Amino acid sequence: MHFTSAMNWIAPIFMLVISTANAAENSDVDTTLADAPDKAQAIARDDAYVLQRLYPLYFAYGHRQVKVQVSFKTPLVKSWPLYLGYTQLMFYQFGSTDKGFRDLTYNPELFYRWRMPTLGPLRYIDFGPLSHDSNGKPLPDHRSYNMSYVRGVWEWESARWLTRVAPQLQTIYSFQTTNLDMQKYIGPVALNLSFVQLFPFWLDKSEVNLLACPGGKFADDWGHGGYQLSWTFRLGGIHLVPAFYLQYYYGFAETLLNYDRRVNDFRVGLMF
């Protein structure tokens, strides 16, 4: 699918949301530093607002390989929730003769967050007109593609835990010649399911997360998809900032370089 055909369906929705959104989305941020009564606090608050976490930040060790993810977003306009995001996924190989970074995925993206404070459990919808994935390697190992997506986030809070569901509809296009069959392993649907604070008595902020992305042009090939199960937790009474992190990945497309190879790996690490 070409870029123009993908934008035919996402661009009108994206522009409609921007034109109807509340411009006071981020009104708690000072408009000018000159008007702030305490300029030191205003500078600190503005610096904290500029750089925000997008996806989880973690490192985890598996079978002679460390997986590291860093991710952040920054708003482009203070009065609009229009963000530039960046995520980098890195795989570092350990071994006697084979050391160093095996693969890196660079993922800049542009998205708009439309918050839904009055629509029950629906918290917000992200409209991503452009997300680019590339490993930056020279041919023949170069892999890249573009993606456009719409993602909704629903939350239900019970007396004991929080349930979060985030389905994503996506289309990928502009494939590199070395990964023309990418749709076999990354389908048009991805689902993120989380349960937060499942064990409140001896663990703090425990979160179990399942990420599922079936393969196939119509997300009908579960045998060629990618699936990740993770558990994040802090021990009660130990005031460590990083949380303990367990991750299990099964399937394809974990890395761009070896997107068509099956992965079955368990990792242990820390999340920030």
Q: Look at residue 201 in the predicted model and tell me its pLDDT.
A: 66
Taking the C-alpha atoms of residue 214 and residue 188, their distance in angstroms, rounded to an integer, is 8
Six-digit token pair at 250? 């099964």
Residue 239 CB neighbour total at 10 angstroms: 8
Domains and CATH numbers, the chain: 3-271 (2.40.230.10)
Per-10-residue mean pLDDT of the chain, 272 residues long, equals 45 45 43 66 75 94 92 91 97 74 94 91 97 95 97 92 96 96 97 86 85 96 97 84 96 96 97 94
Q: How far is CA 262 from the centre of its chain?
A: 21
Alpha helices in 75-187 (DSSP H): none
For 138, phi and psi rounded to 5 degrees? -75, 160
Whether 221 contacts 144, CB under 8 Å: no
Q: Look at residue 46 in the predicted model and tell me its pLDDT.
A: 75
Whether 61 contacts 72, CB under 8 Å: no
- The label of the residue with tokens 């035919």 reads 8
